[in-house]
């Protein structure tokens, strides 16, 4: 897909290295290599450039430039999204993001701003069960109390279908209204990190990985 960047990091990638030649390769090994190669071969810059070009094509209206990096050691697949304000821009959400790849997309605002969440299914870091990761952002203009541009982000990893529950979705939305510019969450060996820039069209960047991949 056009909006996914970087070569996948798989068992074959690691087997070409001496330290992995004669041992079983795990998801943590693949995740750790993805963390170490987050900026390899300019894939991060290519993703940034791509979404910035989408923004230029869209125009000056409020929008959110979204980037996701998969360093979970496994492939992630899109399973859902929810718009609270605005909608997906000129390209769809990436359907599949393999380990070691960046996904990029533009979420465009309406009169209320750009506020949404997107969910990807991957594996947890404990026993490799399926789980869901979410990135959520709020990019609005609040006239009350002269707040002006308001930005907030949130992220979590939880059991499969956790975020399809309407009550839980509302709770996460409320959290995205208060978390502010940076947030990280850990659960069952998963680690998700998110940050947002400022201005009317900030860059929101999320990284999904495993705790053991960054703590080893």
Give the pLDDT confidence of 2-46 residue by residue, as tens digits: 899 999 999 999 998 888 888 899 999 999 999 999 999 999 999
211 lies in which domain range?
A: 4-215
For residue 18, count CB atoms less than 10 angstroms from its CB and return exposed for 0-12, middle for 13-18, buried for 19 or more. Answer: exposed
Q: How many domains does the chain have?
A: 1
- In the chain, what percentage of residues exceed pLDDT 90? 72
At 209, which CATH number?
2.60.270.20
Q: Rounded mean pLDDT of 115-133?
A: 93
What strands lie across the sheet with 148-159, from one edge to the other? 96-97, 76-85, 114-123, 130-142, 148-159
Give the pLDDT confidence of 56-73 residue by residue, as tens digits: 999 888 999 999 999 999
């Amino acid at each position: 897909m056009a909006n996914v960047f970087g070569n996948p990091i798989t068992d074959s990638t690691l087997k070409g290295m001496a330290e992995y030649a004669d041992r079983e390769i795990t998801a943590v090994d693949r995740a750790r290599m993805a963390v170490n190669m987050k900026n390899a071969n300019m894939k991060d810059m290519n993703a940034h450039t791509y979404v910035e070009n989408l923004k230029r094509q869209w125009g000056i209206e409020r929008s959110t430039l979204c980037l996701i990096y998969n360093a979970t050691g496994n492939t992630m697949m899109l399973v859902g999204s929810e718009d609270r304000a605005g909608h997906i821009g000129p390209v769809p959400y990436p359907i599949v993001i393999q380990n070691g790849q960046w996904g990029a997309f533009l979420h465009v605002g309406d009169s209320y701003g750009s506020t949404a969440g997107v969910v990807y299914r991957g594996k947890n870091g404990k026993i490799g069960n399926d789980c869901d990761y979410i990135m959520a952002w709020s990019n609005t203009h609040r006239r009350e109390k002269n707040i002006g541009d308001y930005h907030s982000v949130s992220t979590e990893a939880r059991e499969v279908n956790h975020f399809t529950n309407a009550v839980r979705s509302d709770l996460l939305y409320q959290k995205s209204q208060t978390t502010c510019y940076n947030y990280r969450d850990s659960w069952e060996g998963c680690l998700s990190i998110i940050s947002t820039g400022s201005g009317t069209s900030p860059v929101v960047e999320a990284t999904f990985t495993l705790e053991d991949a960054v703590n080893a």
